[in-house]
Structure 1
Amino acid sequence: MANERGNLNNSRKSKDERPKVKLSKESLREVLGLYTYLKPYKGKFIASLVFIALSTFSTSLFPLFLGKMIDAVSPGASIPGMGAGNIGNQVGFNLKDIHWSLNTTLLLIFLQLSIQTVFSFMRVYLLTEVGERSLADMRRDVYRKLLSMPMSFFTEKRVGELSNRISSDLSQIQDALSYTLAEMLRGIFTLIIGLAFIFWISTKLALVMLSIVPLIAVLAVLFGKRIRMMSRRAQDQLAESGTIVQETFSGIAVVKAFTNELYEIGRYVKSIYSVVDTAISNARYRGAFISFMIFSVFGAIAFVMWFGARMIQSGQLTIGSLTMFVIFSMFVGGTFAGFADIFSQLQKTLGATQSIREILRSEGEAVELAKEEVEPRFVLQGAVRFENIAFSYPGRKDVPVLKDISLSAANGEQIALVGPSGAGKSTLANLLLRFYEPDSGTLYFDERPAKSFPLSQLRRQMAFVPQDVILFGGTIKENIAYGKPSATEAEIIDAAKKANAHDFIMKFPEKYETIVGERGIKLSGGQRQRIAIARAILKDPAILILDEATSSLDSESEQLVQEALENLMKGRTSFVIAHRLSTVRNADKIVVIDKGIVSEMGTHQQLMSQNGLYRKLNEMQFEFENITQSPQRINTD
C-alpha cells in the first residue's frame, strides 16, 4: 500500500508540480542542447517562425482598420500629421491622414482576416509538425538509452518514474517546442508592434496607459502565484484522500477483520475536510483576485477612455484612434500578463530538460541495437566456470551476497542451485546473464573470460525462464516469437509442441492469435510457464537458466511444465534454481548455496548420504508436503 501511495503521489506531483529551475546559462544551455533535434527540420522551423511574425503583424492590423471604420462615419474626423520628422511624411505617406469609406474598410478587414487565417494555419501546422517529429526522435533516443541501461539502474529507479520521463517530461518539452516558444515569440512581436502603434497614435496617452497596465499585470501575477500554490495544496490533499480510499478498498479484508471501519471513516473524513478548508481559503483569494481584476481592468479602461475623451474634445485625437488605442492597450496588457505564465512554463521545461539530458548523457551497457546474428568467433559451446566470485549489490555494498564462489558446468550439464532463501542463487543467475559484474573473481564461458564476449553476443545464446513469467500484451504467437522474432509459423508451432503448449493453444477460438492480456493475465500460471518455455526453445540457447519455474504450480500443471523443461534442457547447459528439491534429483550436479558460499556439491545420492544441509532441507520439505498434501488439487489450466 505504501508503494501504491508513493506511486500515486509521485505521478500526481510530476504532472502538477513539475520542479521549476532557475534561469541560468547552464540551464539554458541544456535547453539549447535539445534544440539540436530541430536540425533535420530547420527549414520548416524557420518558416514557422516567419509565419508567427506575419500572423502577429496581420492581427495587429485589425484594430487599425476598426479605428478607420469608426472614423469613416465620424463627421470631420482627422488626425494632425506626425510632423516633418516622421517617417511617413519623409516618403510622402502618412497612415494617419488616410481615410477609407465604410465599405472599403470592411473589405480591408475581411482581406486582413483571410490573410491572417492563412498565416495562423501555417504557423500552427508547421510548428506542430516540427514539434511532433523532433519529439518522436527524442522519445526514440530516450527509450533506446533507457533500454541500454544496466540492471543496477532499474533497481534504483521506479517504473513509474521512468515512464514519466518518457511521457510527461517529453510532453513538457514538446509544449516548449510547439507552444511555449510560439507564444513567447508571438508575445514579443505583439508587445513590440502594440507599443509601436500606441506610441504612434498618441505618445501622451501611451505614457498614461503604461503607468497603469504594468502595475495591474504585476499584481495579477502575484495574486495568481498565491492562488496556484493553494490550488496545488488542495490537489495534494485530494490525492491523499483518494489514496486512503484506494488503500482501504485494496485491503478491505484486513479492515473488516480488524473491525476498523470507523477508524478508516475517521481518517477519510479528516482528509476531505482538510480539502474543504483549503478550498474555502483559496476561494477567498480567488474572490479577492477577481474583484481586484474587475476593478483594476475596468478602472484602467475608464481612466484611459476619460483621458482619451478629453483629448478628443481638444482635437488631439479621433474616436477611431481612441478605439485603436484601447484595443492595442488590451493587446499589450494581455501580453504582459501572459509572459508570467510563459516564464513559469519555461522554468518547468528547464526541469524536464535536465531529467532528459541526464538520461541521454548516462552511460549504458554496450548492447548491440542492430539486428545481428551471433558471430562465429563468439559461438558458445556451453561450458561455464565461476572462479572465486564475490559480489554485493550496488545499492547495499555493505551486505555481501556471494563470498568466494567457485563452481563449473561442462557443456550440456544440468546444474541445480539449491539452498535457503536469500542464499544467493538468483544472484548467480544475474551474474551469468551479466546483469551485474562481480566485485572480484572471474566468470568464464568456454574457458574465456566473460568480458571478452560482447554483451549482446553473449545474451543471444542464453535463455531465461523466471518463476514469475512476464508475457507482453500481444498474441500467444507474438509472445513465443519473442525468443526469435524472425521465426516462421512452423517454427513457432514446433516450439509450442515441445513445450506442451500446442494443445491448450488450439482450444482457444483464436488459437495462436489469442490475446494474452496485460502480463498474460488471461492465461493460467501453467499456461504462462509453457509459453515462456516455448519462447526459450525457439531461441535455441546454448545456456539455459531456470529460476524456480515450477514452484507455484499445481501437480498437473507441474507435470506438464516439467516435461516441457526436460525437452528444453536436452543438449544444453542448464542452471536450475530449485525450491522444490524433488524436481532436481536427476541433475548432473547439485550445488548447495548457503550464506553466499558453496556449502555442498554433488549428485542427489551423494548429498543424501551426507548429514549436510541438503539432506536436512530434503527431509523438511518431504515432511511438509506430507502434512499439507490435499486429497484434491485444483487444475489451474
Structure 2
Amino acid sequence: MADVDQRRPTARRLRPLRDLLPYVAPYGRRIVVALLLLLLAASATLTLPYAVKLLVDGGLAQPAGSGLGERMQAIREHFLLLFAVAVVLGLATAARFYMVSWIGERVTTDLRQAVYAHVLRQSPQFFETLKTGEVLSRLTTDTTVIHSAVGSSISMGLRSIVLFAGGLTMLVTTTPRLMLTVAGIIVLFVLPAALIGRRVRKLSRASQDRIADTSGIAGEILNAIPIVQSYTQEQAEAVRFSAANEKAFATSIRRTGTRSAFTAFVIIGVFGSLLYGLYGGVQAVLVGELSAGQLSQTALYVMVVAGSVAVLAEVWGDLLRASGATERLMELLDSRSPIDEPPLPVILPAPAGGLRVVFDKVRFAYPARPEQAVLQGLELTIDTGQTVALVGPSGAGKTTVFQLLQRFYEVSEGAILIDGIDLRDARLAELRARIAVVPQEAVIFSGSIADNIRYGRPGASDQETRAAAAAAFVDEFVQRLPEGYATFVGERGVRLSGGQRQRIAIARAILKDAPLLLLDEATSSLDAESERVVQAALEAAMSGRTTIVIAHRLATVQRADRIVVLDHGQLIDAGTHLQLVERGGLYARLAALQFGL
C-alpha cells in the first residue's frame, strides 16, 4: 500500500480531499463571498507595491526645481492612497478570515456528526476489529486536522496562489527579461519539491495512525481501571502506552523533519531566484534602465512572491496531512454494516400480549470465526406470552440467541421468525422497539438516575418513570440520596453499587414495556433481599409478554414455563425444572453442580 502511495501523482495524493465536497457544497454562497473577499484582499496587497512606486517616483524623486510645498502635497496624497489601500486590505482580510473560519467550523461539525451517526449504525461486528479509541481519535484528531485545512489552509493557499501569480505577472511585466530567467530557475525546483511532498503525505497518514493506536490503548485501559489496579498492572500499562506514544512521536518527528526540509527547500530556492532577479534590477537602476520607484516596486513584488511561496509550502504540508485525515474518516463512512435494512420492509403486526418466536433450523458462526459454528440447526419455538429459560454450559450459544434476536448479526442458514415474519424482512428500528433487554453487566450512562431509566422510553413522564423505578426496587435506595432521581451517577455509573446499577437497568426495561423481554441473568448482581423484591417485579413485568431468560440461578429457572437446554449450539432437551431433573441428563448435572441439587 505504501509503495502504491509513493507512485501516486500529485493530484491523486490530494484526491481524498474531494470527498469533502458534499460537506462544503451546502455553503456555496458563503464560499463565493469568501472568495470575493480573498480576491479583494489579494488585489489590495498587489496594489501596495505600485502605490509605493508612485510615492517614490511622484513624491520623493521630484525634480530639484520643485517647491517643498508641492512635493509635500504630492507625498501626502500618495500616503493617503497607501492608507486607503491598507484599510481595504485590513477590512477584506478580517471579513475573509471570519467567513472562512465559519465555513471550517461548520464543515468540521457536519463531518464529525456524519461519521458519529454512521458509526452508531454499525453492527457489533464492526467493533470486533476497530477499537473504540481509534474511532474517537478519528472523530477528534482527524477532524481537527481537516478543520485546520478547510478553515484556514485552503484559504491561505488560494490567497497565496493569487498573490504569487499576480506578483510574478507584475514582475514579468515590469522587468520581463530578468523575471523570465527567474521563472525558469524556479521550475527546476518543482520536481524535487514534488518528491519531498509525496514523502510528507505518507508520513502524515502514518502519524495519524500511530496517534489512533495510543487513543485505542488509552480508551481500553481507562474503561477497565479497577481491573488494572486490582492486578497491579499500572506500571505495565504505562510502559505499553509509552511504547505506542514514542512510536507516534517518532513518526510525527519524521513527518515534521521532512516537512521542514520541504519548506526550507522551496523557500531557499524560490527566494534565491527572486533575489537574483532583484540583483539584476539594481544593476538596471545603476545604468539608468529603471527608476528608483520601479526598483522599489520590484523589491516589494519579490517580497510578495517569496512570501506567497513560503505560505504555499506550509499550506501544501497541511493539505497533505488533511488528505490523510480525510482518507481515514472516509474509510469509516464507506464502511457498510452487514445488517441491511430490507428494500421492502414488512410491517410487524401490533403486539398483543407478547410475540411468538421461532428459530427455524438456524445455523450461525461469528464472522471472525466462520469455521466454528455456534448454533447448529437450532429449532426452537417460543409461544406468545411464554417464559423460557435458556440453560447450558459456557459456549452453548445462549448469548448468541439474544444477539440474533436483535439482529446484531445475520444467521448463516435458516431463519428467525417473529409472529411469522422473518427478522430480515422487518425494519431494524421496528424490530428492536419490540424488544427490551437487561444484560448481565448493566450499562449505565453518564447523567442522572432518571435519565438512565428514561433511556428505555425518552418520552415517559415522571410518574411513569418512578413507577418503573419502584417496580425494580430502585426507589428504595434513591430515597436515601439527597438529590433523589436527579442524582448524577458518573461515567458508567461508578457512583453506584453493582446491584443498584442492575436495578436501574431493570427499571429501564420495565419502562420500555416491550412485548419481548430478554433477561441475561438479570438478578446476578443483587443481594438475597433485593433479589426477592426484583424477582417479584420481573414476574410482574413478564406478565402478558414473551420472556427469554439466560438463567443460572435456581430461583429464575424454577419460575420459567419451559426450560431449554443448549449444548454446542443444539437443543438437546426441554421441559420444566422437575421434568429435566428426573430425566437425569445435562440439566440435572448442571443443577447438581450449580444449584447443589
State the TM bucket, normalised to the shorter chain.
0.7 to 0.9
Shift of 1:482: 1.1
Q: Would the alpha carbon gap of residues 290 and 511 (structure 1) be closer, same or farther in structure 2, given more than 3 Å must change?
A: same
Matched letter for residue 65 of structure 1: A
User: Pick from 596, 602, 612: which aligns with 2:575?
Assistant: 602
Alignment match, 1:49: 35
8 Å Cα contact 2:207-2:252 kept in structure 1: yes
Q: Does 1:63 align with 2:66?
A: no
Q: Does 1:377 align with 2:363?
A: no
**Cα distance between partner residues in 1 of 2:115 and 2:257:** 44
Question: How do 1:9-158 and structure 2 match up within 5 A?
Answer: 22=8, 31-32=17-18, 34-71=20-57, 74-75=60-61, 101-158=74-131
TM-score by length of structure 1 reads: 0.76
Shift of 1:103: 1.8
Shift of 1:546: 1.0
**Counterpart secondary structure, 2:349:** helix
Question: How do 1:526-545 and structure 2 match up within 5 A?
Answer: 526-545=499-518
**Cα distance between partner residues in 2 of 1:350 and 1:277:** 21
Q: Would the alpha carbon gap of residues 234 and 596 (structure 1) be closer, same or farther in structure 2, given more than 3 Å must change?
A: closer
Q: Would the alpha carbon gap of residues 21 and 520 (structure 1) be closer, same or farther in structure 2, given more than 3 Å must change?
A: farther
Alignment match, 1:201: 174
8 Å Cα contact 1:28-1:350 kept in structure 2: yes
8 Å Cα contact 2:564-2:575 kept in structure 1: yes
Q: Does 1:167 align with 2:140?
A: yes
Alignment match, 1:314: 287
Question: How do 1:322-341 and structure 2 match up within 5 A?
Answer: 322-341=295-314
**Cα distance between partner residues in 2 of 1:306 and 1:343:** 29
Alignment match, 1:92: none
**Cα distance between partner residues in 1 of 2:206 and 2:125:** 35
Unaligned stretches of 5+ residues in structure 2: 65-71
**Cα distance between partner residues in 2 of 1:477 and 1:597:** 41
8 Å Cα contact 1:214-1:336 kept in structure 2: no
Q: Would the alpha carbon gap of residues 441 and 557 (structure 1) be closer, same or farther in structure 2, given more than 3 Å must change?
A: same
Shift of 1:68: 3.4
8 Å Cα contact 1:172-1:352 kept in structure 2: yes
Q: Which whole-Å deviations, capped at 9, do the CAs of 1:517-545 have from their partners, x for residues lacking one?
A: 21222221111111111111111011100
Alignment match, 1:614: 587
Alignment match, 1:628: none
Alignment match, 2:540: 567
Alignment match, 2:164: 191
Root mean square deviation of aligned Cα? 4.6
Alignment match, 2:462: 489
**Cα distance between partner residues in 2 of 1:590 and 1:37:** 54
**Cα distance between partner residues in 1 of 2:41 and 2:122:** 45
**Cα distance between partner residues in 2 of 1:393 and 1:144:** 25
Q: Which whole-Å deviations, capped at 9, do the CAs of 1:301-351 have from their partners, x for residues lacking one?
A: 765554332221111223333233223223223333443444444444444
Shift of 1:400: 0.3
**Cα distance between partner residues in 1 of 2:327 and 2:207:** 28
Question: How do 1:208-607 and structure 2 match up within 5 A?
Answer: 208-210=181-183, 303-364=276-337, 365=339, 377-379=349-351, 381-607=354-580
**Counterpart secondary structure, 1:407:** strand
Q: Would the alpha carbon gap of residues 407 and 618 (structure 1) be closer, same or farther in structure 2, given more than 3 Å must change?
A: same
Alignment match, 2:69: none
Shift of 1:367: 6.0
Matched letter for residue 560 of structure 2: A
Shift of 1:417: 0.9
**Counterpart secondary structure, 2:393:** coil
Shift of 1:594: 1.0
Matched letter for residue 524 of structure 2: S
Identity %: 36
8 Å Cα contact 1:526-1:558 kept in structure 2: no
**Counterpart secondary structure, 2:479:** helix
**Cα distance between partner residues in 2 of 1:273 and 1:153:** 28
Matched letter for residue 401 of structure 2: L
Matched letter for residue 379 of structure 1: P
**Cα distance between partner residues in 2 of 1:143 and 1:276:** 27
Alignment match, 1:89: none
Matched letter for residue 31 of structure 2: F
